Structure 1
Amino acid sequence: MTGPVSPAWIAVDWGTSNLRAFAMAADGRVLAEASSDEGMGKLSREGFEPALLRLIGAWLDDRPPVVACGMVGSRQGWCEAPYRAVPCTPLDHAALVKAPTADPRLTVWIAPGLKQAQPADVMRGEETQIAGALRLMPVYDGVICLPGTHSKWVHVSAGEVVSFQTFMTGELFALLSGASVLRHGMQTEGWDDAAFDGAVSDAISRPERIAARLFTIRAEGLIAALAPDAARARLSGLLIGTELAAARPYWLGQRVTLVGAERISAAYARALAAQGVEAKRLSATDCTLAGLSLLAPEKVSDR
């Protein structure tokens, strides 16, 4: 549990694997932050309130409201916050869902995700980052890419999400590098820029050969002493390049902004730069907090 602090409200980003909380001042400053590994995937419905109290209990003397986004609002989460259909604004105060709580100090509001009927797609948590990005970039029309476990390519215009597409690139990387035959050749956290660049170029030019190109990583490790750093970078490049080939209508000739963690955003920026696209980069945390701040407590406390 964190030490005493008196926030005006508390911002919570609750994903599948992790829980992050930020004690917020009325002027938007972060007074304190805390995190745990008690993500949605580890909790039963009855476990969400205790997990949050373990993290922020010391902040609740003045009963500040909590505004949360992410998988906490999924069907398997604390309380389902139904998806809103695009095209729409990323966030809507009227759509917030109040979670059931037992502790009288605790009031929790959950932001819903977004859905798209055709082709079928959904997001949770990214809508808050998109709203934050639009707050940080007023009057932005273009494309926002949110790389990660499930990368999102999002067309935004006039303050609304028009359409989006999800790619399981990050999850595929985790599975292939950790559970497939390729794992034997990449027991490293190292990197090789040249191997990444070549793999991106190869995948964009011939995405239909992805399955065959993946096995060459294993084969070259066995017969040509492919270095683990190069193997890992090549796997990443092949997967990101295949994603870029499929997402071409989103980034070709468009204004592109990347919202994500530093390392993965840098890889996407490098791959896009090779295609002549200079993407702007924003921090995922900065965008999350900017988005949740749009749902500040004065907007929700009297509902």
Structure 2
Amino acid sequence: MSRFLAVDWGTTNRRAYLVEDGAVVATTRDDRGILAVEPGGFDAEVASLRARYSDVPIVLAGMVGSNRGWIDAGYVAAPATIDALAAKAVRPIDGVAIVPGVSRSVAGRGDVMRGEEVQLLGAAAAGMVPPDSLLCQPGTHCKWAWMKDGALADFVTAMTGELFALLKAHALIGQEMTGAVADDTAFGEGVADAGRDDLLGALFGVRAASVLGLRVAGTAASYVSGLLIGTDVRAHVRPGETVYLLADEALGALYARAIGMVGASTQRIDSHAAFVAGVTRIEELLG
């Protein structure tokens, strides 16, 4: 029986999956992301995990392999395959492997990811998406990934969610962004206005709309979200395409709406199942 622990170890959160013969038999999620671990404390954290799960082999992915994590596991350059990730895995101690991230550098523009690559390649390896497909992982840093023959051929990271948070907390228009974001009329207006290719002007227009009484109070947050997501989507999606979304229900619905408004379609993919599929294949390759 194949039995191991897979850990998606991010900046603020950590999710562990106990996998037996390819199936998840237990899962836990906590706030022990890398920022919660004291310098030099990763050995103890991993020892605690091993004790909890009967000393099984462990495969770690995500920010734990960054230069701010336990050990820098480096990057595999795109186009990247799941075999390449396994071949470049780093073993800080016996019985523990850390999956590297993926990098790209084209025309002087670089990009990196850690953790998402396991989901993306796992989705392709498990047949959740076609071998040639466009995948999107919305979030603080939204990932757009182009798969080719099942490999991660290229990708782009957009600071969509982070920019929304910065505007709300620190920008002049933040005082207008008091309502909750919803898939509503204001959101749709934001997506539509993104098509004018004047994001900076449209953002200041949020302030002007408030002063002049042109927008219903409490709808600015939805409108700004629509502007940002609409700009993000229009930069990467073409009419007639199918985009495979690895997202939670709320954020997935917003991206699906914006993608639909540019004439493309979406299919939702279970990101947790994709991660397990990817990390299981990596564990098999590690032997």
TM-score (ref. length: structure 1) = 0.85
Separation in structure 2 between the aligned mates of residue 196 and residue 11 of structure 1, nearest angstrom? 37
1:206-248 deviation digits (Å, cap 9, x = unpaired): 12x2122112223333442845642111111010111123224
SS in 1 for 2:168: helix
Identity over aligned pairs, percent: 37
Alignment equivalent of 2:6, drawn from 11, 24, 28: 11
Task: Summarize the alignment of residues 147-296 of structure 1 with structure 2, pairs less than 5 Å apart.
Answer: 147-191=138-182, 193-203=184-194, 205-207=195-197, 209-224=198-213, 226-227=215-216, 229-248=218-237, 251-296=238-283
The residue that corresponds to 1:46 in the other structure is 40
SS in 2 for 1:31: strand
Separation in structure 2 between the aligned mates of residue 108 and residue 228 of structure 1, nearest angstrom? 53
SS in 1 for 2:81: coil
Separation in structure 2 between the aligned mates of residue 55 and residue 219 of structure 1, nearest angstrom? 53
Post-superposition shift, 1:45?
Answer: 4.3
Separation in structure 1 between the aligned mates of residue 211 and residue 129 of structure 2, nearest angstrom? 52
TM-score (ref. length: structure 2) = 0.89
Alignment equivalent of 1:96, drawn from 81, 89, 96: 89
The residue that corresponds to 2:103 in the other structure is 115
The residue that corresponds to 1:4 in the other structure is none
Separation in structure 2 between the aligned mates of residue 16 and residue 57 of structure 1, nearest angstrom? 23
1:47-85 deviation digits (Å, cap 9, x = unpaired): 2233344556321x2x21111111111111111111011
Paired residues of 2:178 and 2:220 also in contact (CA < 8 A) = no
Count of residue pairs the alignment pairs up: 283
Structure 1 residue 132 and structure 2 residue 99: aligned?
no
Instruction: Indicate how the Cα distance of structure 1 residues 202 and 225 shifts in structure 2: closer, same or farther if over 3 A, else same.
Output: closer
Where does the alignment leave 5 or more consecutive residues of structure 2 unmatched?
none
Paired residues of 1:34 and 1:55 also in contact (CA < 8 A) = no
Instruction: Indicate how the Cα distance of structure 1 residues 263 and 21 shifts in structure 2: closer, same or farther if over 3 A, else same.
Output: same
Larger displacement relative to structure 2 (151-160 or 38-47)? 38-47
Post-superposition shift, 1:277?
Answer: 0.8
SS in 2 for 1:136: coil
Instruction: Indicate how the Cα distance of structure 1 residues 178 and 142 shifts in structure 2: closer, same or farther if over 3 A, else same.
Output: same
Post-superposition shift, 1:116?
Answer: 0.7
